Chain A
């Protein structure tokens, strides 16, 4: 069995003349939590799209447990065990909370009763079980983040990609969300997390991959990456949320 869960090898994505991702390589091991940081427009969400098949890479390869998923469709990659959330939240607004999560659970079962049970378990894990019969459209932003997380968890993924855990969430709800991610990691989940809030990402990640202008400028433990002169330079002029 290979020791790396995800192996991103030199992926490149261009939009016309603009290079959104340039020759990006990094790895994620089993049970690891990798944080991805970078200023706005660094190419973080594009990288997620390339890994999960929402956009085709122009060059490079993505390997999951040693097998290429580079040319697969998003749903195929999901069924291989990669789940994700979106920076711009995408709840199924006209369905109830539990129905939202059932859609995820149906990946591993066709039985509605079993899907419902698994969905309730996932909702329990993210602390949203009491809202299970509410319509998704009435949820707050923080609750919607939890909902998307539960939906992704319900697919029982091997790797979970979270795009902006705390973005747009009010200050009071942030600690609980951060705890949730930390707990998932503690339970053995492998995660890649995009996060703007520096203190959050430095606190929870085992490793940080820093992007700037579509390139990897640093890859290492949080303490090292945080002091890397290139990272500091990239963030100059940006609000460093300490």
Chain B
């Protein structure tokens, strides 16, 4: 086994260097497209990290996380449109709404285990999607435009001149997700969540209120996902049920985390850093989104990961290190 004491030092130094590089990136790459790709990586890494808290650490495979993403996106946009509230306030309210929704969903659904739970989360996602399509006040199927504010300002969370501010806000959100996950990981809650994932009965026998901890994990996960949703709305400036509530989005969030390695701190970022550029590249190389080449590769990758190493790239890396170390 590798010297245990030295690895964290190496790892955190590497993390520091990575952070500096990420901070410097927009200064070097001033074109919109590379920035857009990295912003998307940040967003999906953050969403996958939020999902990871619930699915990776606590073992509850949610396939309906788009509900929380959509809750964030719609709350901030609707509050801006009808009440002229700042997106930052909308973002906070969106997180609260998502938490409320998550507790409402969680109460019945967490009584289910395994596949029943996974399918139930798809069902909830589809129900919410259908309701949103038919809710006219919230734009229905046509969707909503985020009210345009000029000039660019941090308060309005809109930047039409350059993507640089979006970039740093997305990075900030990603760091927040990392910080929360790390906090959870090393605390009692992290141990409890993993214990619940491994064996619910054994966890309960040791005094863990299983249902309450699942709800807590769900609340944290939902709140973070909603922040991502509000950011997305402010970044794209248009939302509709098809873009923020579809099951396909829920799945993509899982794919990112699963590919990178769930139940690990770094897995979501690694997964996003591979899948998002891959998607961009195939779109450019094969032209248009209609060809779905990116999805073809995603699907194949996920099958491969499931068969070869369900722990994702993180587990592969760890295995490699153990062999050489």
Beta-carbon contact of A84 and B188 below 8 Å: no
What are the residues of chain B within 8 A of A90 when measuring CB–CB?
A: 199, 201-202
| A 87-115 binary contact with B (CB < 8 Å = 1; else 0) | 00011111100010011101100101001
**Contacts A74-B201, A78-B204, A90-B202 hold; do A103 and B192 have CB atoms under 8 A apart?**
yes
What are the residues of chain B within 8 A of A133 when measuring CB–CB?
A: 4
B65 to nearest A CB, angstroms? Answer: 23
Beta-carbon contact of B209 and A104 below 8 Å: no
What are the residues of chain A within 8 A of B210 when measuring CB–CB?
A: 75
A79 within 8 A of B: yes
For residues 134 through 166 of chain A, which have their beta carbon under 8 Å from a beta carbon of chain B? 148, 151-152, 155
**Contacts A73-B209, A75-B210 hold; do A95 and B201 have CB atoms under 8 A apart?**
no
Beta-carbon contact of A79 and B194 below 8 Å: no
What are the residues of chain B within 8 A of A152 when measuring CB–CB?
A: 205-206
A210 within 8 A of B: no
For the A-B complex, the count of residue pairs with Cβ-Cβ distances under 8 Å equals: 81
Beta-carbon contact of B194 and A106 below 8 Å: no
Indicate which residue in A86, A94, A106 contacts B191 across the interface (CB closer than 8 Å): A106
A158 to nearest B CB, angstroms? Answer: 13
Q: Which residue of A lies closest to B1 (CB)?
A: A133
| Complex-state Cα separation, A78 to B199, whole angstroms | 16
Indicate which residue in A54, A94, A103 contacts B208 across the interface (CB closer than 8 Å): A103
| Complex-state Cα separation, A110 to B205, whole angstroms | 18
What are the residues of chain A within 8 A of B204 when measuring CB–CB?
A: 54, 73-75, 78
Beta-carbon contact of A155 and B187 below 8 Å: no
What are the residues of chain A within 8 A of B202 when measuring CB–CB?
A: 86, 90-92, 148, 151
Beta-carbon contact of B206 and A54 below 8 Å: no
| Complex-state Cα separation, A107 to B203, whole angstroms | 11
What are the residues of chain B within 8 A of A155 when measuring CB–CB?
A: 206-207
What are the residues of chain B within 8 A of A37 when measuring CB–CB?
A: none
Beta-carbon contact of B191 and A99 below 8 Å: yes
**Contacts A74-B201, A86-B201 hold; do A95 and B195 have CB atoms under 8 A apart?**
yes
**Contacts A92-B194, A95-B198 hold; do A112 and B208 have CB atoms under 8 A apart?**
no
B207 to nearest A CB, angstroms? Answer: 4
A161 to nearest B CB, angstroms? Answer: 9
Residues of A at under 8 Å CB distance from B? 52, 54, 73-76, 78-79, 83-84, 86, 90-95, 99, 102-104, 106-107, 110, 112, 115, 133, 148, 151-152, 155
List 20 A-B pairs, Cβ < 8 Å. Answer: A54-B204, A75-B205, A75-B206, A75-B207, A78-B204, A83-B206, A84-B205, A90-B199, A90-B202, A92-B194, A92-B202, A103-B191, A103-B195, A106-B191, A110-B187, A112-B191, A115-B191, A151-B202, A151-B206, A152-B205
Residues of B at under 8 Å CB distance from A? 4, 186-188, 191-192, 194-195, 197-199, 201-210, 263
